[in-house]
Amino acid sequence: MPDKKHTLRLKRLGIDTYKEAVIYMHTDCHICRSEGFEAQARIQITLGDNSIMATLNTVDTDLLDVEEASLSNYAWELLKAHERDIITLSHPKLLGSVAYIRSKIYGNALKKDEMAAVIKDVTTGYLSDVHIATFLTACAGGRLDKQEILYLTEAMLQVGDTLTWNSPIVVDKHSIGGLPGNRTSLIIVPIVTAFGLTMPKTSSRAITSPAGTADTMEVFAPVELDIAAMRKVVEAENGCIVWGGLSLSPADDIIIRIERAMDIDSEGQVVASILSKKIASGSTHIVLDIPIGPTAKVRTPQMAQMLKNGFESVCQEFGIKLHISFSNGLQPIGRGIGPALEAKDILAVLRCEKNAPQDLRDKSLTLAGQVLEFSPRVLPGTGKQLATTLLDSGQAWKKFQAICQAQGGMFEPPTAFHQHVVTASISGHVRSIDNRRLARVAKLAGAPRSKAAGVELLTPLGSIIEKDQPLFIIHAETAGELRYTVDYFEQEHTIIQLEP
Amino acid sequence: MPDKKHTLRLKRLGIDTYKEAVIYMHTDCHICRSEGFEAQARIQITLGDNSIMATLNTVDTDLLDVEEASLSNYAWELLKAHERDIITLSHPKLLGSVAYIRSKIYGNALKKDEMAAVIKDVTTGYLSDVHIATFLTACAGGRLDKQEILYLTEAMLQVGDTLTWNSPIVVDKHSIGGLPGNRTSLIIVPIVTAFGLTMPKTSSRAITSPAGTADTMEVFAPVELDIAAMRKVVEAENGCIVWGGLSLSPADDIIIRIERAMDIDSEGQVVASILSKKIASGSTHIVLDIPIGPTAKVRTPQMAQMLKNGFESVCQEFGIKLHISFSNGLQPIGRGIGPALEAKDILAVLRCEKNAPQDLRDKSLTLAGQVLEFSPRVLPGTGKQLATTLLDSGQAWKKFQAICQAQGGMFEPPTAFHQHVVTASISGHVRSIDNRRLARVAKLAGAPRSKAAGVELLTPLGSIIEKDQPLFIIHAETAGELRYTVDYFEQEHTIIQLEP
């Protein structure tokens, strides 16, 4: 359909819209006129072999002349564009996926090919942010059935690459988010790989939390490895801890961006997101940790059971061995909340320092033990003891350093420039901790974007403290963010409840 | 919280993002650095007495220097900005409304103050497009209960202006959309006001259809009147037909923009949207037409009943007299689909021309009769006869011209430059017409943006036609849109079903 008359010359304006593709054209451009395009129209743009969809912004000043167009930096990269390249414009094709999303809103279950069409259009950028938000909302609140979760997992797998390994057992471990500081993977991977199991761990960045495993690992070493580089690390060290968003699950990367703006996850999508990445990374045996607590992501045993059913049913279809363990989600794990603060806790555990957070150490050993028991060489019931030996002997710490070096590291965790100590207004013992609000404080302080930002929790549940004694310390990299966070906290006195 | 150090100088770049507020700042700007702002952050901007929220786009070229910022044209207008004005920037306050939207996704009913908070943040622009799409999706598919629809109506009323009239009876009429060409209001208003009833009709633009009443009226006369101008028209002529989005229901205007991008309506929101505008415009007596048909917006009698219950329950709370009539929604009304083509049908009816579409005439007279019977001067059962007399005597046509003149008109409907005739591939009679696909053809051709664009339907249900005889004519203002529409139609042979 595009013909020669529908071309424009590119001029770089350098506008960063984050991951939204935008095209800028002059209001008086002949294509706007002949095609009836106006601001907010969706336009298909082709340059060489690449084609994307972008949202039109028009310009009525001399930033552009009528023969020129510009692209947001994201669109510029997607098209691999250069100054003065000639792009071709056309009307977008009609998207069947929009009709499927509408059907989902009205309570209809999506079929396999419908789910695949939606995820394909998410991945290629054919669906706008508003459409993706609509799709995710329509799926949230328990509105995906077992079959749909399977279809969604398959659809997310289809649009990404898949890894295979020369090993009959490829292990993995995942914790459902929502519990600040629950960063056990960085301890489990070195324990398990020191034993000799293969654990090519791909992890995500934070969605609505102050840090994801990838954010925390990035404090120590680069995590944005391509597949060839990741394979090299695993061949050398049996395992790695990398960001899984690059090409294993491109749909998930986009979905996470929209969910961050919406500030929600949907449980069916959580199952599909997690398992599509695990399956794509070649895992055959998975330990899944689901923390339960009133302010964790999973609030009730019923919700945990619902997720468990979803995970088990998809794993069964794919022939994957799954061990699910429910854990205590009443308070954060460790002391630090935020990438660098969590990294410091992990260092203390790996180095077997005396002041290492015991809860983080114990939980990591329990889960590492469950992973080790997937090995035919490990007797049932002996995994945790074995994990403890691997940690206390220094083998895990040595392995962690080797993995970081292989990924391009290893760095020391930074310390934030600005700190603010929050003290108790009365004496008493700590009766409850609001994970969500504490996480929000860490996010306001700049985590995970600012690596050193976050919260250092000094008083776990049951602590007995005096009036004016410190409860937690807010860390921020900029004065503006610290001031803003303190302002918020001063309106929120219920984050840590004290009982006199 | 904002202090002197958080100010930038405005430079106009003239970028039109439609109705999205965007702020452009240099990547190296000191505020980006000290406050930790990066692309896609939401920022509060203050200029004089005006304050808005905008999404940040950063610029890494010399479009802006580090002391400068620019705004999208929409944000520029909202802030009433001038070149070199000094704006103040700050972090946005945390929005409780986001938590309420999340709660709604998980199936909780919203309370009165929660709904009010959401709608207030929609109206002030504090919620982003993605948040609003999430809210609308969470409310769609029957997920608002009776009480929530009432709260939503009240919330939408609260954020807008309300009109009062010196008349004990203020009538109104509304048709649920989805039926192409169902443009009876432009005939009913002149009939009813010629009789002497007060009918200050506010109407909407198209949401997902090829034309709304406001779009069609705009073919004849200006519709974007402010309240003072509207009042003048009603005082002179007893009635008007204006666009109701200006200040009567500012929330609805924003919601419609997002729904257009999503291509959905939600039924609870339909009730709240319609009634908030009717109540805000001072209506005391309302006739509501609900067309039912498999490809109309309301597909089943059950759905119609659900909407009826919603309307009746809200009207009862507000003490409004309501007459609901269900009508046949199997095919378009009249011949034209699209603003100017519908306007031509209306002219033919008002001028009592022989070739006027009889279905449009008859439906308008029926509904006008129901409105007239609200008057104590009209006996039950005599309304339609009275309406017919007012139309056939030329009084309605005279009144329509007077209303158009009072609003600043009156113009002749334009004719599209490009036309394409679609013919029958077999002989037979017309068994069914797909309203939705026909509407889509009209939209692809450019309606309602291009006034003259749309579809002229030549063969209503039951028509007996020969092979190669014209079925309908596609009208477009640009060659690109016509070509695109014809391409679409050639893949869609089922819009008009013929039975041999």
Q: Does A1 score more than 70 pLDDT? A: no
Say which CATH class B171-244+281-294+308-407 falls into.
alpha beta
Average the pLDDT over each of A159-163, A284-288, B284-288, B393-397 and give the range with the smallest value: A159-163
Q: How far is B40 from chain A (nearest CA, A)?
A: 6
pLDDT value, residue B255? 87
Minimal CA separation from B209 to chain A, in Å: 15
| Structure confidence by residue, pLDDT tens digits, B330-370 | 888 999 999 999 999 999 999 999 999 999 999 999 999 99
pLDDT band per the 50, 70, 90 thresholds, residue A299: confident
Residue of B216, B122, B210, B202 whose CA lies nearest to B170: B202
Between A362 and A39, whose confidence is greater?
A: A362
Q: Which residues pair with A45 in a beta bridge?
A: A52, A89
Query: Residue B441: its chain A contacts at CB < 8 A?
Result: none
Q: Return mean pLDDT, chain B.
A: 90
What pLDDT was estimated at residue B261?
75
Average pLDDT of the segment spanning A178-191: 90
Contact B264 A105 (CB under 8 A): yes
* Strand arrangement, sheet containing A454-457: A336-337, A454-457, A470-476, A418-423
The tens digit of pLDDT for each residue in B116-138 reads 999 999 988 888 888 999 999 99
- Distance between A204 CA and the closest CA of chain B, angstroms: 20
B141:A479 CB<8 A:
no
| Inter-chain Cβ pairs, chain A and chain B, closer than 8 A | 162
Architecture label for domain B418-499: Alpha-Beta Complex (3.90)
Is the domain spanning A171-244+281-407 CATH 3.60.15.10? The answer is no
Task: Report the gap between the CA of A300 and the closest CA in chain B (Å).
Answer: 14
Question: Contacts of residue B130 in chain A, CB cutoff 8 Å?
Answer: 129-130, 133, 258, 261-262
pLDDT digits 0-9 by tens, A449-498:
899 999 999 998 889 999 999 999 999 998 888 887 887 777 666 788 88
pLDDT at residue A324 in the model: 96
- A95 compared with A400, residue with greater pLDDT: A400
**A347 phi-psi bin (left φ>0, alpha ψ -120 to 50, beta other):** alpha
Taking CB atoms and an 8 Å limit, are B261 and A35 in contact across chains?
no
What are the E-state strand segments in A39-99?
42-47, 50-59, 68-71, 86-90
Per-residue pLDDT at A6 = 82
Question: Tell me: the pLDDT tens digits for B239-288?
Answer: 999 987 667 778 887 888 788 777 777 778 889 988 998 999 899 999 99
Does residue B291 have a cis peptide bond before it, meaning omega lies within 30 degrees of 0? no
Q: How confident is the model at residue B36 (pLDDT cuts 50, 70, 90)?
A: low
pLDDT digits (tens, 9 = 90+) for A53-78: 899 999 999 999 999 999 999 999 98
Inspect the interface and report whether the beta carbons of A134 and B133 lie closer than 8 Å: yes
Calculated CA dihedral for residues B396, B398, B401, B403, nearest 10 degrees: -60
Most A CBs within 10 A among B35, B105, B483, hence the mutation to make, goes to B105
Interchain proximity A27–B38, CB inside 8 Å: no
pLDDT-based confidence at residue A4 (cuts at 50, 70, 90): very low
CA-based nearest residue in chain B for residue A142: B106
Tell me the whole-structure pTM to 2 decimals.
0.82
Q: Which has more confidence, A111 or B256?
A: A111
| DSSP H helical ranges for A162-266 | 185-195, 213-220, 227-237, 250-262
Percent of chain B with pLDDT over 70: 96
d(CA A435, CA A328): 12
On whether the CB atoms of residues A271 and A149 are closer than 8 A, the answer is yes
Query: What does the block give as tokens for B223?
Result: 């519709």
Largest CA distance in chain A: 78
pLDDT tier at B4 (50, 70, 90 boundaries)?
very low
**Nearest to A370, CA basis, from A391, A384, A349, A386:** A384
* pLDDT, tens digit, 9 for 90 and up, residues B84-112: 999 999 877 777 898 899 899 988 999 99
The chain-wide mean pLDDT, for chain A, equals 90
Q: Is the pLDDT of residue B59 over 70?
A: yes
What's the average model confidence in pLDDT over B414-423? 93
Q: Do B140 and A450 touch (CB under 8 A)?
A: no
Judged by CB atoms closer than 8 Å, whether chains meet at A58 and B94 is answered as no
Mutate to test the interface with A, among B11, B74, B262, B449 (most CBs of A within 10 A): B262
Residue A129 reports pLDDT greater than 60? yes
Domain ranges for chain A, please list them. 4-90, 96-158, 171-244+281-407, 418-499
**pLDDT at residue A96 tops 70:** yes
Tell me whether residues B133 and A138 touch, CB distance under 8 A: no
Place of tokens 């007239």: B372
- Catalytic positions of B are 265
pLDDT in tens, B141-176: 889 999 999 999 999 999 988 899 999 999 999 988
Greater model confidence, A226 or B221: B221
**What topology is assigned to B96-159+248-277 in CATH?**
1.20.970
Single-letter residue type at A382:
T
| Mean pLDDT computed over A289-302 | 87
Q: Which has more pLDDT, B284 or A439?
A: B284
Burial class (CB within 10 angstroms; exposed 0-12, middle 13-18, buried 19+) of B431:
exposed
Top-tier CATH class for A96-158? mainly alpha
Nearest to B297 by CA among B123, B177, B431, B393: B177
State the pLDDT at residue A246. Answer: 61
**Highest mean predicted confidence (pLDDT) among A181-195, A269-283, A431-445, B23-37:** A181-195
pLDDT of residue B2: 40
B293-331 exposure pattern, b = at least 16 Cβ within 10 A, e = fewer: bebbbbeeeebbebbbebbbebbeebebebebebbebbb
Domain A4-90 sits in CATH at 2.40.40.20
Mutate to test the interface with B, among A12, A134, A306, A485 (most CBs of B within 10 A): A134
Do B136 and B255 touch, CB atoms closer than 8 A?
yes
pLDDT band at A3 (very low <50, low <70, confident <90, very high): very low
Residues of A assigned a catalytic role: 265
Q: For residue A57, give the nearest of B16, B34, B263 by CB distance.
A: B16
B393 or B263, greater pLDDT: B393
Which of the 8 DSSP states describes residue A380?
Answer: T
pLDDT, greater one: A444 or B407: B407
Q: What is the pLDDT of residues A405-427, one digit of tens each?
A: 999 989 999 999 999 999 988 99
CA dist., res. A396 & res. B89, Å (int): 48
CA distance A37 to chain B (A): 10
Q: What is the pLDDT of residue B331?
A: 85
pLDDT at B489 over 60: yes
